[in-house]
Amino acid sequence: MVWLKQLAVSEKKYLLLFVLYSAMLAVTIIGQAYSIVKIVDSVFIQKSSFEAILPFAALLALAICTRLATQAALQLSANLYAGRVKTKVRQQLIAHWSTPSAKPTGEKIAILQHTVQELHGYYAHYIPQFIKTLTLPASIIITLFFVHPTSAIIMLITAPFIPLTYILVGIQTKAKSEQQLTKMNRFSSTFLEMLYGLQTLKLFGKAREQEQKLNEHNKQFTEATLTVLKIAFASTLFIELITTLGIGLVALEIGFRMIVFQTLTFAPAFFVLTLAPEYYQSLKELGAAFHTGRGSLAAAEILQDTLKTPKREPIWGTAHFAEPPSLALKNASIQYQQQEIGPITMHIPAKQTVAIIGPSGHGKTTILHMLAALIKPDAGQLFIDEKEQSTIEETKWRERMMLVSQKPYLFAATLRENLQMGANYSDEQLLEALQQVELTAWFGQLENGLETKIGEGGLGLSGGEQQRVALARAWLKKPSVLLLDEPTAALDVQTAEAVHQLIQQFHHRSTVVIVAHRYESIAHADMIYEVINGQLKKG
């Protein structure tokens, strides 16, 4: 809740706008009630002429128009306010994820889209309504104290029951909302990962199995949503009951004053009864907004936990290094929630090919990311050309290092643009690169050749084709440091053999590190390291 409030205060101009609009609403509502009372009293009680009520009719029309315009402006400002805050949170998440993390891509996208969107209710509804409720009911109560103090006292006594009920309900729904949001993120993440791997799943006959898994996540999310809605509907019914009783008590007291004791005239009585529903309606809206804002707490906790995870962003300097450089990790370690990797000490001489093997999930990719200077170890240090990584010039390192990940990313652009990556290669060089990774036959089937559009994330290409495009990038760039994460995992035997030959072209020309399972990928390695449970030993 503190984090949500800090974000709320960061956009002060919108908060000032909400105060201004709320004050205008209070004036227009009281003016509208006053105009209605004067018109009705003049026509039915005082028997005044039509000309006598014209000023009050004009005031009523002005009050109604101003009220509608102010409400529209308030809602528009609330949506803009929520949009600004959500943009800030998304920017914080993207900056936080600028370094690799253990969180799956599908879950990251679900958090960016759905979890951040859950904050909308807090900023677009609860905050504006909270400011509105501080202003409007207070203005009505102050006005009624000058007209009929007893009714004002009754309204003051009954008012706290409405927000109190919503607070009690909110406490009950918090845990349910967290469960609903967790299940929604899990469902979204599973769906996205399946979508990217659909072609591979169908190829290996696993589509039906994954469909059942997705249906199970969908069922859990539906049940969690219905539970939250059931509590919300029950609380709404209870609030309506309290509101009706509150207005009923005010009406009963006024009735006794007018009919039995005859101490109250028609005009002030009608004025109180006109403003009482407005008073309780504002409190009801605050309660509903509180319930909506309470649902945002679950999203806020997930976002805070995500942003609190160590960022591990490396620090850079200005020093240069020899090409190709040697690499070394000295007592480097990283602590995840469920696993500790390290301390790792390893030395990779320049122009040597080193293989890292071991079971999945034991830390091979994390070690590769440390060698790539994508993440900073919690302890220990990376040395490049026997210099601390923090002293090396970042731009030079990024230019001469290339990491081919297990799931390379392709952009929504042409094949040419995906291969060039901002560089300028001739068509002959591009075609030769495709030939080196056994993509010549596939390229021949493309109607638009190098201008063929590729979908975001490589949509439309198989996992093997995406991997080979990434390897073609490496052949074009010819980096002095080449880091490969399972380069042949998604390839058939024939293509894998061609990729092995491609990798051998970097042998004794570049510093190469290969993370692999297949023996063929490490057959020409100068050194082999094995990773077991985050610990490294020389093979």
Q: What does the pLDDT look like over 385-399, one tens digit per residue?
A: 999 999 999 889 988
- Looking at residue 319, the DSSP 8-state letter turns out to be B
What is the topology classification, in CATH, of domain 327-538? Rossmann fold (3.40.50)
Q: Domain spanning 78-308: which CATH class is it, in words?
A: mainly alpha
Residue 414: its H or E element: strand 413-414
Q: Is the peptide bond before 325 cis (omega within 30 degrees of 0)?
A: no
pLDDT, tens only, 57-77 = 999 999 999 999 999 999 999
Chain-centre distance for alpha carbon 69: 33
The mean predicted confidence, pLDDT, of the chain is 84
pLDDT, tens only, 408-420 = 888 888 889 989 9
**β-pair partners for 348:** 327
Are 531 and 367 contacting, i.e. CB atoms less than 8 angstroms apart?
yes
**Can you give the pLDDT at residue 180?**
63
Q: Diameter of the chain by CA atoms?
A: 107
- Other CB atoms within a 10 A radius of the CB of residue 140 amount to 23
- Looking at residue 416, the DSSP 8-state letter turns out to be H
Q: Flag the least confident range among 199-208, 309-318, 352-361, 506-515.
A: 199-208
pLDDT bin (cut points 50, 70, 90) of residue 196 is low
**Can you give the pLDDT at residue 109?**
73
Structure tokens, 430:
């591009």
**Can you give the pLDDT at residue 74?**
95
- Looking at residue 351, the DSSP 8-state letter turns out to be T
pLDDT, tens only, 203-257 = 777 777 777 877 887 787 777 777 777 766 777 777 788 888 888 999 999 999 8
Q: Which of 238-252, 259-273, 284-298, 357-371 reaches the highest mean pLDDT?
A: 259-273
Q: What percent of the chain is predicted at pLDDT more than 70?
A: 88
**Can you give the pLDDT at residue 290?**
73
Angstrom distance (rounded) from CA 62 to CA 442: 71
User: What are the domain boundaries of the chain?
Assistant: 78-308, 327-538
Angstrom distance (rounded) from CA 176 to CA 186: 15
Q: Which residue has the tokens 């510093």?
A: 511
Angstrom distance (rounded) from CA 240 to CA 250: 16
Are 454 and 411 contacting, i.e. CB atoms less than 8 angstroms apart?
yes
pLDDT bin (cut points 50, 70, 90) of residue 15 is very high
**Can you give the pLDDT at residue 461?**
80
Per DSSP, helices labelled H in 41-158 are 50-96, 105-110, 116-117, 120-121, 127-147, 149-158
User: Is pLDDT above 60 for 331?
Assistant: yes
pLDDT bin (cut points 50, 70, 90) of residue 153 is very high
Q: Flag the least confident range among 99-103, 256-260, 363-367.
A: 99-103
Reduced 3-state DSSP string for 24-75? HHHHHHHHHHHHHHHHHHHHHHCCCCHHHHHHHHHHHHHHHHHHHHHHHHHH
Q: Flag the least confident range among 86-95, 168-177, 335-344, 449-458.
A: 168-177
Write the burial class of residue 538 (CB in 10 Å: 0-12 exposed, 13-18 middle, 19+ buried).
Answer: exposed
Strands (E), 487-533: 511-515, 527-532
